[in-house]
Amino acid sequence: MTDTAAIIVAAGRGTRAGGDIAKQWQTLAGRRVIDWTLDAYRAAAGVDCIVMVLHPQEMHRAAEFPDVTSVAGGEARSDSVRAGLEALAGSNCTHVLIHDAARPLVSQRIISDVLTALKDADGAAPALEVSDALWRGAEGVVTGLQDRSGLYRAQTPQGFAFDAILAAHSAFAGTAADDVEVARAAGIEVVMVPGEERNLKLTRASDFRRAEAFLGASMDIRVGNGFDVHRFGNGDRVILCGIEVPHTHELKGHSDADVGMHAITDAIYGALAMGDIGQHFPPSDNQWKGADSALFLRHAGELATAQGYAISNIDLTLICERPKIGPHAAAMAQKIAQILGIAPGRVSIKATTSERLGFTGREEGIAAMATTLLTGGAS
């Protein structure tokens, strides 16, 4: 049994990219660079935990990422990587992927190829063959031709057997361009897997435009909606979005009757055009009697991940006169986010009454409607 961690180095200053804040906190196609990068690893099969290395003066940002372990980085990239590795020392980690926060468009294919290569090697990394002619130059003038045969452009994630790369970094004196340099200095052989042009590193301001062009060319955006109703019966609590809320009645249904979670689950199935909750978990099947609805939501989330989609946001409205939802909304959002492995800030839970009109107004039951946006698509 292996335990694989991803270390995302995000402690640089991004001086070449410019801007008021470091490039990893800047926006790329409407979302922060760091969110693109973290979501790629949250969605990656075979990655068990994420360590993010932040600039020491930006450690306050860690609270925003409760699903990630954040540690403070150092002066040079290799110092930051070492801090990430040391945070994992003594854990069950057997393999580690080291990735630049500044490479937000890494594909699931690259991550998977590096992980697969690590089954037979202690080091693996994506690379692109150099295709342009290479010149030497000085003062704006070409001074010679550089043979390009056998030259590659290095990308991340650079993956390693954990103990080997920790020892290599501990023994390495000075700064290194990347972790492959550190690994090779310690005698670790590193195999190459195919890199991708779209896995570019945002280095200068113009790279943001290049990355947005890649996204524009390939991004698939899916919207889904879900609607559900459950009636009240005798009881003293309801379960809404996985949270028990004391009430004068309970909701009736084949499962735990979590109307909010059902609407969200159906929204995700809808966005994927993959049926609905009744199709995946038929009420006629006794094994789902009294089931915890987290099971259904997790299934929908896993289907989205398997299709290469990330859940960008979820917006749920619960329609009822009572119980009051407001005091429980944050806990509900946290629960949904935890089940789906996304940041709580991507989940909105709100409620409305129906002004005492209709079945919700007469307090005969609760209705729920959800919308979700998925981004990505098989990458």
Ligand X SMILES: C[C@](O)(CO)[C@H](O)COP(=O)(O)O
Ligand Y SMILES: Nc1ccn([C@@H]2O[C@H](COP(=O)(O)OP(=O)(O)OP(=O)(O)O)[C@@H](O)[C@H]2O)c(=O)n1
In whole angstroms, the minimum distance from the beta carbon of 209 to ligand X comes to 18
Neighbours of 320 (CB within 10 A): 24
The interface partner of residue 154, options being ligand X, ligand Y, none and the CB cut-off 5 to 8 Å by kind, is ligand X
Q: Answer with the entry of ligand X, ligand Y, none that 156 interacts with (C-beta below 5 to 8 A by kind).
A: ligand X
Sign of CA dihedral 3, 102, 208, 194: negative
Q: Does 76 bind ligand Y (CB under 6 A)?
A: yes
Which one, 202 or 347, has the nearer CB to ligand Y?
Answer: 202
> Closest approach of Cβ 123 to ligand X, in Å?
14
Q: Is 254 annotated as a binding residue?
A: yes
| Residues paired with residue 137 on neighbouring β-strands, in sequence order | 142
Handedness of CA 168, 170, 171, 174 (dihedral sign): positive
Burial class (CB in 10 A: 0-12, 13-18, 19+), 18: exposed
Residues 195-224 that bind ligand X (CB under 6 A): 201, 203
Quote the CA–CA distance of 268 and 33 in Å, as a whole number. 24
Please identify, using beta-carbon distances, which residue of 12 and 224 lies nearer to ligand X: 12
228 annotated ligand binder: yes
For ligand Y, the closer of residues 203 and 353 by Cβ is 203
Q: Is 9 annotated as a binding residue?
A: no
Pairing of strands 95-100, 4-10: parallel
Binders of ligand Y among 82-101, rule CB under 6 A? 100-101
Contact partner at residue 205 from ligand Y, ligand X, none, CB < 5 to 8 Å by partner kind: none
Report residue 371 as tokens. Answer: 């919308």
One-letter amino acid for residue 374 of the chain: L
**Residue 23 or 328 with smaller CB distance to ligand X:** 23
Residues 6+ apart with CB under 8 A from 306: none
**Binding pattern to ligand X, positions 159-188, x when CB under 6 A?**
------------------xx----------
Residue 40 binds ligand Y (CB under 6 A): no
Spatial CB neighbours of 321, under 8 Å, sequence gap ≥ 6: 353, 354, 356, 360, 361, 363
Nearest distance from C-beta of residue 16 to ligand X, angstroms? 8
Kindly report the backbone phi and psi dihedral angles of residue 240, in degrees, each rounded to the nearest multiple of 5, phi listed first: -130, 120
Task: Using alpha carbons, list the distances in angstroms from residue 189 to 115, 116, 122, 154, 326.
Answer: 15, 15, 7, 15, 56
**Window 197 to 236, contacts with ligand Y (CB under 6 A):** 201, 203
Was 255 annotated as part of a binding site? yes
Binding footprint of ligand Y on the chain (CB under 6 A): 9-17, 24, 53, 73-77, 80, 100-102, 201, 203
Question: Which residues belong to the annotated binding site for a divalent metal cation?
Answer: 228, 230, 262
Question: Which residues belong to the annotated binding site?
Answer: 228-230, 254-255, 262, 276-278, 352-355, 359, 362
